[in-house]
Chains A and B, each alone.
Chain A
Amino acid sequence: EVQMVQSGVEVAKPGESLKISCKASGYDFSTYWIGWVRQMPGKGLEWMGVVYPGDSFTRYSPSFQGQVTISADKSHTTAYLQWRTLKASDSAIYYCARMQTYMGFDFWGQGTLVTVSS
């Protein structure tokens, strides 16, 4: 059974760094893209970027390029989303999801709520 399990709620201050995770299981981790999607409070879905764990190749939306880093660790079958310097506007729910080239996002994590406040 495919599962994407995300790390828990995060509360942080502006200027701090943060890394959230997405643990995948039930399939060959190296051969499927994993993506991250942002949902700000009461708003729609925003595609942030994807990583291919097989070779760590990444693609970013221009809106998020340089603002976040997406990575993957094959040995732990885990994908990550990290910020070097958080802003209040980064407060949102972040979803990871497995991506199939011809299907889009077929399995989703439960979401990680990130709150950035002084």
Chain B
Amino acid sequence: DIVLTQSPGTLSLSPGERATLSCRASQSVLSDYLAWYQQKPGQAPRLLIYGASSRATGIPNRFSGSGSGTDFTLTISRLEPEDFAVYYCQQYGRSPDTFGQGTKLEIK
């Protein structure tokens, strides 16, 4: 199975700052089939980014994804109060699909 390691585990930032979240794969992700999800307490996850860099429908352009192969990044250019949540990466290029362990983005 492909293991996804997210870092940092927790990121403490203030609204208006830039957030950079990392997702590293234990082997190359096929076709860059790497997605990012946001999950707020008591809610289901929401798809933000797919194919490593494509924004899902309705996702604000302050969210961007980059990377290929084994190293991927989710960037939030300017944090809004509603962005504080847990973020997960997922690879869906090689079965079984796998998730990273998550990064908690908290208000500083």
Contact = CB atoms under 8 A, between A and B. Distances in A.
A110 interface: yes
Contacts of B31: 102
Contacts of A66: none
Interface of B: 1, 31, 33, 35, 37, 39, 44-47, 50-51, 56, 88, 90, 92, 95-102
Contacts of A103: 35, 47, 50-51, 56
| Interface of B: prevailing SS | loop
A44 to B, nearest CB: 5
Give chain A's interface residue range (CB within 8 Å of chain B): 20 to 34
Interface of A: 35, 37, 44-47, 49-50, 59-63, 95, 97, 99, 101-106, 108-111
B29 to A, nearest CB: 12
Contacts of A47: 90, 96-99
Contacts of B1: 61-62
30 contacts: A37-B45, A44-B88, A44-B100, A44-B102, A45-B37, A45-B90, A46-B99, A47-B97, A47-B98, A50-B97, A59-B95, A60-B96, A61-B1, A95-B44, A97-B44, A102-B31, A102-B51, A103-B47, A103-B50, A103-B51, A104-B33, A104-B50, A104-B92, A104-B97, A105-B45, A105-B47, A106-B47, A106-B50, A106-B56, A108-B46
